[in-house]
Structure 1
């Protein structure tokens, strides 16, 4: 049995993951902005489940929530930083409020929860921090640039974190899903006010999308269970059949470009 804290458990990946943990006998604390969104899990699993109301943008509330979860569970073996949302729009279209809101939740909210959990896991001498990033944290596409920028930040933060905390017995994994059939692009999303000049780009993306590109979120649960049970979890794990070949191709193209410009790069070092 493991003790698990998961943020953003009201929908998307969070709820089916929390349910999978509970079904196999783990103890789970889960956060949501509205407690009523977690009533079904509380009614089904009773004392094994601890719901916590939390907006991860609020740093003080985050530290209080983590302390409460640790007290309720007795320990926290696994943290899953899942809270986040997508901001859709071209770079020019994003307002200051929208861009700051994207980073407040996806980057700073994740950072606050990470900072709050570290003393808990250090004192235990073990722990596994799982950061829900995205394939769009490794490459970017039009109309999701601000979202990608937030996930690129999560990637860099978490890679540094992994090196910093390994000596404390704490493991770090970045989950990098491709597109999945959640409400991430629907009710959970924020849409910037569109400028007509970018409509052809948006239309091209719609035209290129294929139904099979979007995975079933319920199918991710076995992978996450295997991940948290692994003695040697990877730093990065793709979720879905699109992410691996896509990112492999991206990196092959990058390597070819770097190789082509290698002499320029080396000369820039100086003597």
Structure 2
């Protein structure tokens, strides 16, 4: 049976790659984005199987309305990919209140609104898949991208709770921990803080660390997502990317080593 996908942030990057892969597999897609103009070529090529949908995920009312229209388009939703997001690049001290709130409105609250909107539809039809796109580095913060990590970490935690809450309805939630892909996140999807002089040296160090290496193309991640959507019993979380898998295990080992090195102090307190 063909599946019906609802993908947010579908106009570029990973969202676009997942949309193209689902269509290539014979499925139908409701592709949501703030600007759907880049999807016009796909809509023309896959007439009747792709419905572009203008959506600002930070607007909760808009999200619920869009999900109703998405469900009506093909009569059901089988796979929901909560992918929309952006980057706030800069030091914590540099970020304005407006920048932080706008970032979290999309990367965290927007994903929550989508989840809240789709769960009743998935429950009513007896089940479905919800893929929550987070990051392979959401277990800890890193200079210059702290707010991005914070939003993804918050979504990760909420998604764990959501998975437990909806599993009894036949809804499977998977936290998709994406590795680094050439999605344009650091260009078209980035809001930059105003640099402050005390952080010049650290900023240069971080930019050198990011380096000039070209990340893999988004479409190289799509086969894993397609396979994930087909699994009868999908995992609660999945790392996407071979190098990212190694990095996550390394970070987990380092965290465990840190805990063990201070075990003596931790055990001085009851509880």
**TM exceeding 0.5:** yes
C-alpha separation in 1, matches of 2:78 and 2:48: 18
Cross-structure match for 1:245: 246
Deviation at 1:213, TM superposition (A): 6.8
Indicate the structure with greater helix content: 1
CA pair 28-165 structure 1, distance change in 2 beyond 3 A: same
CA RMSD of aligned residues (A): 1.4
The C-alpha deviation readout for 1:110-150, integer Å capped at 9, x for no partner, is 00000000000111111110011012312222100011111
Match in the other structure for 1:83: 84
Q: Work out the CA distance in 1 between the residues paired with 2:57 and 2:210.
A: 32
**How far apart, in 2, do the equivalents of 1:240 and 1:195 lie?**
34
Give the unaligned 5+ runs of structure 1.
none
Output the TM-score relative to the length of structure 2.
Answer: 0.95
Q: In the alignment, which residue of structure 1 is the partner of 2:95?
A: 94
Partners of 1:192 and 1:211 in 2: how far apart?
21
Partners of 1:188 and 1:224 in 2: CA distance: 22
Secondary structure of residue in 1 paired with 2:48: helix
> Does 2:115 align with 1:114?
yes
TM-score by length of 1: 0.95
Deviation per residue, 1:82-122 (Å, 9 max, x gap)? 11001100001111000001110011100000000000011
Q: CA deviation at 1:214?
A: 2.0
Q: Structure 1 CA distance, aligned partners of 2:207 and 2:242?
A: 19
2:26 maps to: 25
Gaps of 5+ in 2: none
Which aligned pairs between 1:54-69 and structure 2 lie closer than 5 A? 54-69=55-70
Q: How many residues align?
A: 270
Question: Partner residue of 2:10?
Answer: 9
Query: How much has 1:263 moved relative to structure 2?
Result: 3.8
Q: CA deviation at 1:60?
A: 0.6
